[in-house]
Amino acid sequence: MLKRISALVLAGLTALAVTSCGSGSGGTTSASSGGGDSTVTMGFSQVGAESGWRTANTKSVQESAKTAGVTLKFSDAQQKQENQIKAIRSFIQQRVDVIAFSPVVESGWDPVLKEAQNAKIPVILTDRAVDSKDTTLYKTFLGSDFIEEGKKAGQWLVEEYKDSTDKVNIVELQGTTGSAPANDRKAGFQEVIGADTKFQIVATQTGDFTRAKGKEVMEAFLKSTPDIDVLYAHNDDMGLGAIEAIEGAGKVPGKDIKIITVDAVKDGMQALADGKINFIVECSPLLGPQLMDLAKKVVKGEEVPTRVVTEETTFTQDQAKQALPSRQY
Ligand code: AHR
């Protein structure tokens, strides 16, 4: 009996140690469910807080968990894969019912996903994918088609310059190196513009999906690269940072340099409505309700589709003016 009590005390202490280890790796917070009939506990490892999109996504996940009666253990990885791996291991030790995460980069997940599988804890990928060959390591992937987003950006550009035979010099601000949206938005865009040699990407560099880095890299592009016609930024935040750099260099964003971005968060939409951005491809961060629904099904052992693609649109300047008043994020 004493042995059993000691074991229980030890288990309790281990769980406490695991929680504080999670906090050290970017902060783990626990939120109780706000009612509902379910007792599902979800461990969620978020990428970070790098952009307006990410803030909206975190809010969507946290609010939906409350509405769905899911207890959420939330961990912010501060854009570091090692923090996400630590958080996932901590969730495994805490024996959560389901783990959901948005992988900061695509590769390097197999060992920790195998640990979750061995512990019989289902995993859901949300927002970003992993490149694991073994697709049994996760139950489903909920998120956008980033290749399609890149293609939509390219298609707008092709249409915009359809009557011109001149060379079009493009600079590209990529998202976080190795992340699915950076890889796929680049590939989709390249596939479309690659059909016409007049389109040339004359400079490309990561801006890490942040406004500050977007500004810094655009300043460097403006110094090193003459005659920039177009900026393609993999998200609104980098585009907004770049606008500051362009204005700082005495040029007019949206006119001297045409700008295409991805996301359609409020600040981006405002810049589009103001004529500083020319076209935005939407990437919806409102994944929370679908995520909670999938999580409950997976925990019950119900079948779920292996891929759930988010529905998205695109915005011109006129469409942004119409959509802005009712924009949720
Ligand atoms: O994974 C989605 C991307 O991550 C968003 O487009 C970007 O803003 C965010 O940081």
pLDDT digits (tens, 9 = 90+) for 250-283: 999 999 999 999 999 999 999 999 999 999 999 9
Could you tell me where the DSSP H helices lie in 145-204?
Answer: 146-160, 180-193
Burial label, 321 (beta-carbon count in 10 A; 0-12, 13-18, 19+): middle
The backbone torsions φ and ψ at residue 315, rounded to the nearest 5 degrees and listed phi first, read -135, 130
Q: How many whole angstroms from 164 Cα to the centroid of ligand 1?
A: 32
Interatomic CA distance for residues 182 and 107, integer angstroms = 13
Residue 143: CB within 6 Å of ligand 1? no
- In angstroms, the CA 22 to CA 17 distance is 9
Segment 93-113 shows an average pLDDT of 98
Q: Above 60 in pLDDT, residue 38? A: no
CA of 232 to the centre of ligand 1 (A): 15
pLDDT band with cut points at 50, 70 and 90 for residue 316: very high
Q: Looking at the predicted structure, is the pLDDT value of residue 23 above 60?
A: no
Half-sphere exposure of 268 (CA within 13 A, CB side): 31
Band the pLDDT of 31: cuts 50, 70, 90: low
Cα 123 to Cα 130: distance, rounded to the nearest angstrom: 12
Ligand 1 lined by 235 (C-beta under 6 Å): yes
Beta carbon of 282 within 6 Å of any ligand 1 atom: no
* 17 vs 98, more confident: 98
- Quick one: tokens of 305? 């589709």
The bridge status of strand 140-143 relative to strand 258-263 is unpaired
In this prediction the pTM is 0.90
How many angstroms separate the alpha carbon of residue 283 from the centre of ligand 1?
Answer: 8
Q: Is the distance from the beta carbon of residue 185 to the nearest atom of ligand 1 less than 6 Å?
A: no
Q: What is the rounded end-to-end Cα distance, in angstroms, of the chain?
A: 55
Residue whose entry in the numeric block shows the structure tokens 């976080």: 176
Beta strands 279-282; 230-233: pairing state: unpaired
To test ligand 1's pocket by mutation, which of 45, 46, 47 has the most ligand atoms within 8 angstroms of CB? 47
To test the pocket of ligand 1, the residue of 47, 50, 53, 281 to mutate (highest count of ligand atoms within 8 Å of its CB) is 53
CB burial class (10 A; 0-12, 13-18, 19+) of residue 24?
A: exposed
Quote the tokens at residue 72.
């959420």
Answer whether residue 167 shows pLDDT above 80.
yes
Among residues 255, 293, 301, which one has the least CA distance to residue 276?
255
Ligand 1 close to Cβ of residue 51 (< 6 A): yes
Look at residue 18 and tell me whether its pLDDT is greater than 50.
no
Give the residue from 74, 247, 46 showing the smallest Cα distance to 239: 247
Q: Is the pLDDT of residue 16 over 70?
A: no
Mean pLDDT of 99-109: 98
The span from the CA of 25 to the CA of 87, in Å, is 7
Beta bridge partners, 30, equal: 73
Residue 109 CA, distance from chain mean position: 17
Q: What is the mean pLDDT of residues 126-138?
A: 97
